[in-house]
Chain A
Amino acid sequence: MMYESTASAIAFTRLQRMAGQILYVAAASALFAALQMHLDLAAHATGSILFGSLAGMYLALAQRGGRMRELELCEQSAPLYARELARAIALVPCLGVTTALAAYWLVTLISSGPSTLAAMPIFLSVACACAVSIVALCATVRAGVWQLSYLLLAAALAAIVAALEFPQPPAAFLFCAMAGFIGLRQYGEALARWNPVT
């Protein structure tokens, strides 16, 4: 397998290693959508944002330690700038939650019919879950109180987007974009200072 770029090598290798977890998350997402089959679009929109965010936090936390240790050491010993590494690693939970939310909306389409679907909640759920994943990634390079505060920040982000969704959809998108951008910068900077000592 020839890799097109450094980012694709990092992301594909991590995705391969996490394939099982992503599959479980997608299956849980589909099940959650099936349980909500008699609800309206607003409930689906809120449910997908909250479930997608939870899945994003889980997949982000799974990026560090444990089974990822060998890959981490290999990536850390490579002559890469932290921002390149941060972007490549951030792709993984983002692709994972996109898969999970695709499963969610597909099951919603099948179980509740096309009348319960709209483009805005679908795109917003993906944007929110990606932003939450990126903020949760910052927790993986911190410990103690700081780690907990980044997780709370990620959860708060999901709650704010869910609250903003129907009154102000453009504001919700803008909020996700800003949180994702700032979160990625923060993650890159924290990764540059991070020591892989366990």
Chain B
Amino acid sequence: MRDATFAQRGTQLVPPQTLELDEGGRLAHPCADNRAASIVAMMAAGLVRATDGRVFVGAFDPRIQPVHVKRLAGYVPHDALPYEFSTFEHYIEYRAALWQLPQAESVVRARRILAGLNGIHESFAYPLAGALIALPRLLVLDRPQALYAPQIIVAAQTCAIFSTHGSGDDAARFMEACGLPV
């Protein structure tokens, strides 16, 4: 991201953001508030287009090639809980259909990922496992809890992790929990 901003109806919701993340890297990005953190995460995952500035995920610009960006990035929202799915398997089948992945194979893979996310609440573990079944190269986390960082690192394996946080303290706590220098 280079000077990427987001404005809605004339109000700037995200001030200019400049950051870079290498392949396989880890970055906890502090934002001014929770709303900005949520928008920056969506910008990194290709869901929201920056109003100004540049965003590149891999070699792709989300404004021009959003589908390519979404193939590379796995997005985990802050407060998602798949309420409408009766079981974890149904949720994974739904996600596999959306990502055009083999459904039965994805369920097996997701169960294996979920087993590694022991101790994480299902409201975060399910979307995380759902995001990882597509083998993304970038995992985008919207305000994850520092408590879950060790399991996230193990589950993501070599995938780059970009997380946004509502404050500098939260970001520092997450980096610390990941075992990275703050």
Contacts and interface: CB of A to CB of B under 8 A. Distances in A.
B97 A8 contact: yes
A3 B81 CA distance: 21
B82 interface: yes
B82 A197 contact: no
Contact of A9 (B6, B68, B94, B131): B94
A75 B46 CA distance: 12
Bin the interface of chain B by size.
Answer: 35 or more
Most chain B CB within a 10 A radius of its CB, from A2, A10, A71, A73: A73
Q: Which of B70, B75, B98 is the most central at the interface, judged by chain A CB atoms within 10 Å of its CB?
A: B98
A76 B67 contact: no
B99 A79 contact: yes
B8 A3 contact: no
Given A3-B93, A10-B98, A197-B6, A79 B67 contact: yes
The interface residues of chain A, by DSSP majority, are classed as helix
A13 B8 contact: no
Given A70-B82, A197-B8, 19 more contacts: A1-B93, A2-B103, A8-B97, A13-B94, A16-B84, A70-B83, A73-B75, A74-B98, A74-B130, A77-B47, A77-B73, A77-B74, A77-B75, A78-B95, A78-B99, A79-B100, A80-B98, A195-B49, A197-B42
Interface of A: 1-3, 5-6, 8-10, 13, 16-17, 70-71, 73-81, 143, 192-193, 195-197
